[in-house]
Amino acid sequence: MMSTLVRDRSSVQPAPPAVKEPRRRPSRRTTLLAAAVVVWILGFLFLHGTSTLALPASELTDLHRSLNQFNAWVAANRADNPVFLYIFTPLRAAVDSVANLFTTIFAASSTGLRLPEIGWLGTVGLLGWIAFAVGNARVALLTVAVFTFFGLQGLFVEATYAFALVLTAVLLTLLVGIPLGVLAGIYGRVAKVITPVLDFMQTLPTFVYLAPLALIFLIGPASAVIATVIYAAPPVIRLTAHGIRAIPENTREASDSLGTTGLQRLLTLQLPMARRTIVMGINQSTMAALSMVTIAALIAAPGLGQVVVRALQSLDVGTAVNAGLSIVLLAIVLDRVTTAASRRAEPGAARNRRVSRKTRYLLLGVTLVLALAMVQLSRSMLWAAAFPKDLNIGPAIIQAVSSASQWMQNNLSLFTVSFREAVTTGILNPFQSLLTDTPFYILVAVIAIAAYALGGWKLAAITTACLGVIICLGLWSDSMVTLAGTLVATAVVMVLGIIFGVAMGRSERVDQILRPMLDAGQTMPAFVYLVPFLGLFGATRFTAIIAGIIYAAPVAIKITADGIAAISPTVVEAAISSGSTPWQVITKVQLPMARQTLALAANQGLIYVLAMVVVGALVGAGGLGYDVVAGFVQSTLFGKGLAAGLAIVFLGILLDRMTQAAAAAPLRKIPSSKTPAT
């Protein structure tokens, strides 16, 4: 669900200084880590089951009860509180009217037969023409083909609803995000304030703010769009700021020496030079907005998400895959068109073009007339307004996928169930019990010692504070359940990352074959593959772990592959010529040299797995994810769900800082904190 967690901070630390420090340093770290493990095991063995702070799923703490009051407070204040009167209600109305405008144009108007202002033929023509005008004939053709395919799938209306909402959300995101990004890029102080907020926005599970948002803005398109904006804004803000900050100092000085004012500098130098990065941010934000389509369906946002969610509820794999396919295709179109648009404006692009400018304008004019004719047709003819029902291959797709998954369930379930049992009883349960049955004070001490060993006093203080917050939230035991699942999933992600990442880094061909599959793994809404896994593995923690792995593995694999590919070929050749076997090259040269990249992959893998915790709860994972989901659907558990969301954020901060510190060079005395504040 969180397919684009863009973090432009670079976690890769600079290489350690060439001068080696005395030998004691690493050994001291090792001693400390070993001591932590010993304390943990002793604590587990002798104090087993005491002070575990377990809280049953239906029980609440006083904090949770007081958070529940939020619900009543909103209800009591909606009518007359000025915050609602002058901010929330007008905001909702404004967002609603934008969303309505696009919905009316593309998906369904509220009059008569609920046909859109522009029927399917007009939509295909108009969008195809826009793609041609801002991009090229190739992406125009892709747009036309994909939007026609939506019709063939029997999902044209759903797809245009989703498209209209994504369009609204992206427009609002850019309206808010680009100015904020510019400010953060120019003023370091703004960046300092904004960065933790963006971190928070990206780590807080979307489910958590969905319920409060629905309370404040009521269910429907407005809340869905606002939730999407919250989730999709960070990438464009970060990348805009990054692009502006990355402009070389001397270029800026040269411009300043000409006496430009701040605004002139922004418009003539900074924005244009940061353009590529900003467009990348727009692209990332669009993808993020699209990944919210399924989540937003839970608060009655119409469109493809509804189809997917309904299919999950009735375990209808075929329907889920059919709608999921539409979402992936929509993502591909939006991605390709924005990329082509940015490429079109590159300097020198015009010179390499095959058709002259004049011919192109002529072509544009002719195709525009054609597109407008199609729009007009779709406004007057019923066959062009609603996609013909008999041209529907949707049922065939659904049937094929359903029978394939049925076959898998019938023939593989014996194998998959025993595999699940083996992993659960062999690895997951012992590890989870190690975390949940050890007294909390022992674990806090163990983690603090480990943090001190990895990153000194500062890191130890941060981690202890995070753990303290989790204890105060009353969700220690659930957090440990979640932590166990997350760590197991991340371990598998890293194994996959190394195996496939090395293969891709070493061979161009393997890279070409695997990359599209990785892209699909990231864009396909998690809800879609949850359904077949539920059939294969049943509703258990194991299923949730697999979903996390599928979502996080592509990132880890890509990062590892890039790291391996970036190693200078001369080093590898030198190793080969001195007689190393391929295995030796990998283990002795490539992996050690890519160590920093591997640490980054582990860091991102962890964050991505954590992002799936809540989705995993829909298929039987317990812990914090379950609390969040239950809080979303049971009004008595509202406060607990909110607390669980915060606990996930603090768990995320803790894991992020610990892995970043571990990624720092082992010989460094004080690992630097996050490199240049974004």
Partner 1 sequence: MKKARLLLKRTVPAVASAAAAALLLSGCGGASVNQVAAPAGATDAPCGAVNVALNAWVGYTANAAVYSYVAKNQLGCSVVQKDLNEQISWQGFASGEVDVIIENWGHDDLVKQYITDQKVAVDAGPTGNEGQIGWYVPPWMAEKYPDITDSKNLNKYASMFATSESGGKGQLLDGDPAFVTNDEALVKNLGLDYKVVFSGSEAALIQSFRTAEQNKTPLLGYFYEPQWFLSEVPLKKVSLPAWTPGCDSDAEKVACDYPTYTLNKIISKKFADSGSPAAKLAKGFKWTNEDQNAVATDIQGGMTPEAAAKKWVDAHQDVVTSWLK
Q: Which of 9, 29, 252, 275 binds partner 1 (CB under 8 A)?
A: 275
Report in angstroms how near the CB of residue 605 gets to partner 1 at its nearest: 24
Say whether residue 630 binds partner 1 (CB under 8 A).
yes
Of 42-50, 497-505, 533-541, 545-553, the window that binds partner 1 (rule: CB under 8 A) is 533-541
Say whether residue 272 binds partner 1 (CB under 8 A).
yes
Dihedral (CA of 59, 62, 64, 68) sign:
positive
Of 14-22, 24-32, 416-424, 650-658, the window that binds partner 1 (rule: CB under 8 A) is 416-424
Query: 645 near 200, Cβ under 8 Å?
Result: no
Query: 571 near 593, Cβ under 8 Å?
Result: yes
C-alpha 161, offset from chain centre: 22
Q: Which residues contact 261 (CB under 8 A, 6 or more apart)?
A: none
Residue 302 CA to residue 298 CA, distance in Å, equals 9
Q: Which helix (H) or strand (E) holds 540?
A: none
Cβ distance to partner 1 smaller for residue 450 or 618: 618
Say whether residue 314 binds partner 1 (CB under 8 A).
yes
Say whether residue 130 binds partner 1 (CB under 8 A).
yes
Report in angstroms how near the CB of residue 455 gets to partner 1 at its nearest: 34
Outline where 507-622 has alpha helix (H): 508-523, 526-537, 541-565, 569-577, 582-584, 591-593, 595-611, 613-616
Report in angstroms how near the CB of residue 521 gets to partner 1 at its nearest: 22
Residues 185-244 that bind partner 1 (CB under 8 A): 214-215, 218-220
Query: 300 near 219, Cβ under 8 Å?
Result: yes
Say whether residue 618 binds partner 1 (CB under 8 A).
yes
Residue window 37-76: x/- pattern of binding to partner 1, with contact defined by CB under 8 A: -------------------xxxx-----------xx--x-
Q: Which of 134, 176, 190, 201 binds partner 1 (CB under 8 A)?
A: 134
Of 12-20, 172-180, 293-301, 642-650, the window that binds partner 1 (rule: CB under 8 A) is 293-301
Of 545-553, 558-566, 613-621, 644-652, the window that binds partner 1 (rule: CB under 8 A) is 613-621
Say whether residue 341 binds partner 1 (CB under 8 A).
yes
Cβ distance to partner 1 smaller for residue 75 or 517: 75
- Report the amino acid identity of residue 33: L
Of 127-135, 139-147, 471-479, 568-576, the window that binds partner 1 (rule: CB under 8 A) is 127-135
Of 224-232, 266-274, 444-452, 604-612, the window that binds partner 1 (rule: CB under 8 A) is 266-274
Say whether residue 478 binds partner 1 (CB under 8 A).
no
Query: 104 near 115, Cβ under 8 Å?
Result: no
Backbone angles phi, psi at 398, to 5 degrees: -60, -45
554-570 as b/e, with b when 16 or more CB fall inside 10 Å?
bbbbbbbbbbbbebeee
Q: Which of 193, 472, 159, 197 is nearest to 331 (CA)?
A: 159
Say whether residue 309 binds partner 1 (CB under 8 A).
yes
Say whether residue 119 binds partner 1 (CB under 8 A).
yes
3-state secondary structure of 12: coil
Residue 326 CA to residue 163 CA, distance in Å, equals 11
Say whether residue 371 binds partner 1 (CB under 8 A).
yes
Q: Which of 612, 605, 609, 608 is nearest to 663 (CA)?
A: 605
Residues 136-195 that bind partner 1 (CB under 8 A): none
Report in angstroms how near the CB of residue 432 gets to partner 1 at its nearest: 9
Residues 4-33 that bind partner 1 (CB under 8 A): none
Residue window 538-577: x/- pattern of binding to partner 1, with contact defined by CB under 8 A: xxxx------------------------------------
Q: End-to-end CA distance of the chain: give it in Å, rounded.
A: 24
Report in angstroms how near the CB of residue 538 gets to partner 1 at its nearest: 7
Residue 655 CA to residue 450 CA, distance in Å, equals 12
